[in-house]
Chain A
Amino acid sequence: MGLELLEGSTAIARSAIAAGCGFFAGYPMSPFTGLLESMSRELPAAGGVCLNAESEIEGVNMTLGAAAAGARAATGSCGQGIALMQEAIAEAALNETPFVVFNMARNQQDYFQATRGGGWGDYRTITLAPKDVPEAVEHTQLLFHLADKHRAPVMLYGDPLLAQTRVGVSIEPRDFGSLPPKDWVLDGTGGGTGHSRQVWTWAMGKATDPGPGPDRHWRSIAAKFDAIAAAEARHEQAYVEGAETVVVSFGSAAKFVEHVVDELRAEGHRIGWFRPVTLWPFPGAALTAATRGARQVLVFELNAGQMLDDVRIHAADRDAVRFIGGVSISESGLAYGELMDAPVIRTRILEGVA
């Protein structure tokens, strides 16, 4: 298949449709708006339903409803909009309803929001952070698979560069293997049929058919997230063997860091890089191994230091961890500031090495 020049938002929308997404609801908020526009243009033509909801809260709950009825469903927003969605994401995590949240964030300041969750209860959100548009296309399809595999809401952590950069891409459906049957979906039959089902956070069941109840249910949810943490962590790394310095970064920033590290390697520096591909589960064991022997573990992220916590938890020597990132926002508030630039990152890394 040939390449098409697509804006990141459109590429993600088409990839979601290729993955079988049949329902999308959201509320406009830049830089997520492009994805909603693309979906509204393309999803109905593919036989799906796209709704511009009255608010983020409505959008995510519509998505939860469509997913409970068995559709591959997605929503999205950024920043404050994702904050509004957290209650529904927590409910879906605890009542085991799978859908995808496209968090087209304005910057990297929502790492905590994505990985810690702002909802309630013992849950986590599988979060993938692609470094560029081609990887976002792949992650989009993987996320629908992971959501169904684990019956859980999952998140793509994007940003303005991913949403707005136009790249020649080829979008084809990808096969990630077989999935369990959706034998739990609601089929529209109500009381009296004897076959009605419940999707409920407390899992107490019906009077005639009691469920496990909250204690047993929430223990099993916690065990499920432990199993996901053990099975789904993904990372990439290069040159960490024998490196004196390892730079850790995620998302778009990691692509810039890779570029700078390549330059510095060519100049003789013993430096490598490590990138969590899944922000949760954080690839902690891999980071421990990658930083063993490193004199400096530099953390570059465009926020005040959020992933920094995870790096400190998992670095082989936490005293080697230094923060070289920072808050950097354009005047519009809708794009990165001057820190998302290879020459600036190079200076920060060299200062961190010194």
Chain B
Amino acid sequence: MEREVIVTGVGGQGIQLLAKTLALAATREGRHAMLSADYGGEMRGGPSKASVVIGDAPLRALPVLPSAWSAIVAHHRFSEGVLERVRPGGPVIANVPLVDPAALRADLVVHPVDAAALAKEAGAPQAVGFVLLGAYVAITGLVPQESLVAAMEELLPPYRRQHAPANARALAAGASLTTAVAHGS
């Protein structure tokens, strides 16, 4: 089976690194992965989207996904068209309060995560994306948390190695939250 996740947010939230970390972790687990990125030239504030597909056989998925099993919504801006593509019942990580879970489609299973607060608590205020990723993986079980940490470390350039422990704490902070809200209740 192929599992797809669409990640959407704005430049500066760590969308691309989050997606790359997930795809690399799956690859290191010996699984097939595909990562498609879509972002503008802006450094911060512009649309930033990525999609990751993970499967146990060579993938049939398209590099532009017609539909997806799940999503991570880091920011409400630019997210509308993306969320239309999530299949009913799919798990969605919503970065509150930037994203209002009540404003999302009623047929999705939304998991609210206050990533900024958790990142700050973990002493990793810059690692909002890793909190969201930690939560996503805890809920979906797509890859083991340890392989996420290893992939994150592998992707850090040498001059950013000092951030590895903080990023790992951010991943763990996200993973500690696994409560789903029953939508529309």
Most buried by A among B27, B32, B40, B59: B27
Q: Inside 8 A of A132's CB, which chain B residues have their CB?
A: 63
Are A165 and B30 interface neighbours, CB within 8 A?
Answer: no
Name the interface residues of A143-170: CB closer than 8 Å to any CB of B. 161, 164-168
Residues of A in contact (CB 8 Å), total: 22
B83: Cβ under 8 A from any A Cβ: no
* Known interface pairs A161-B63, A342-B62; A167-B41 also in contact (CB < 8 Å): no
* Known interface pairs A3-B27, A4-B27; A341-B20 also in contact (CB < 8 Å): no
Q: Inside 8 A of B58's CB, which chain A residues have their CB?
A: 134
Are B34 and A259 interface neighbours, CB within 8 A?
Answer: no
Q: Inside 8 A of A252's CB, which chain B residues have their CB?
A: 63
B5: Cβ under 8 A from any A Cβ: no
Name the interface residues of A332-352: CB closer than 8 Å to any CB of B. 332, 335, 340-343
A313: Cβ under 8 A from any B Cβ: no
Most buried by A among B23, B36, B38, B64: B64
Alpha-carbon gap, A252 to B64, bound state (A):
11
Are B32 and A166 interface neighbours, CB within 8 A?
Answer: no
Q: Inside 8 A of B62's CB, which chain A residues have their CB?
A: 255-256, 259, 342
B66: Cβ under 8 A from any A Cβ: yes
Q: Inside 8 A of A161's CB, which chain B residues have their CB?
A: 36, 63-64
Distance in angstroms from A328 CB to nearest chain B CB is 12
Are B41 and A342 interface neighbours, CB within 8 A?
Answer: no
Most buried by B among A164, A167, A335, A341: A167
A5: Cβ under 8 A from any B Cβ: yes
Interface string of B57-87 (1 = CB under 8 A from A): 0111011101000000000000000000000
A2: Cβ under 8 A from any B Cβ: yes
Q: Inside 8 A of B24's CB, which chain A residues have their CB?
A: 5
Q: Among A2, A5, A335, A341, which residue has its beta carbon within 8 angstroms of that of B35?
A: A5
Name the interface residues of A251-298: CB closer than 8 Å to any CB of B. 252, 255-256, 259
Q: Inside 8 A of A2's CB, which chain B residues have their CB?
A: 30
Most buried by B among A132, A255, A340: A132
Residues of B in contact (CB 8 Å), total: 23
Are A168 and B31 interface neighbours, CB within 8 A?
Answer: yes
Q: Inside 8 A of B63's CB, which chain A residues have their CB?
A: 132, 161, 165, 252
Are B30 and A343 interface neighbours, CB within 8 A?
Answer: no
B117: Cβ under 8 A from any A Cβ: no
Name the interface residues of B15-53: CB closer than 8 Å to any CB of A. 20, 23-24, 26-27, 30-38, 40-41
Are B40 and A332 interface neighbours, CB within 8 A?
Answer: yes
Chain A residue nearest to B23 (CB atoms) is: A5
Distance in angstroms from B7 CB to nearest chain A CB is 14
Are A332 and B41 interface neighbours, CB within 8 A?
Answer: yes
Distance in angstroms from B154 CB to nearest chain A CB is 10
Alpha-carbon gap, A166 to B20, bound state (A):
9
Q: Inside 8 A of B30's CB, which chain A residues have their CB?
A: 2-3
Q: Inside 8 A of A255's CB, which chain B residues have their CB?
A: 62
* Known interface pairs A5-B35, A134-B58, A332-B41; A166-B23 also in contact (CB < 8 Å): yes
Distance in angstroms from B23 CB to nearest chain A CB is 6
Are A167 and B37 interface neighbours, CB within 8 A?
Answer: no
* Known interface pairs A4-B27, A342-B62, A342-B66; A164-B32 also in contact (CB < 8 Å): no
Known contacts A166-B20, A168-B27; can you find 16 more A-B pairs with CB under 8 A? A2-B30, A5-B24, A5-B35, A134-B58, A161-B64, A164-B36, A165-B34, A165-B36, A166-B36, A166-B37, A167-B34, A167-B35, A256-B62, A259-B62, A332-B41, A342-B66
| Selected A-B contacts with CB under 8 Å, 12 pairs | A5-B27, A164-B36, A165-B63, A166-B33, A166-B34, A167-B59, A168-B31, A256-B62, A259-B62, A259-B66, A340-B64, A342-B62
Closest 6 CB pairs of A and B: A342-B66, A166-B35, A5-B27, A165-B63, A168-B27, A161-B63
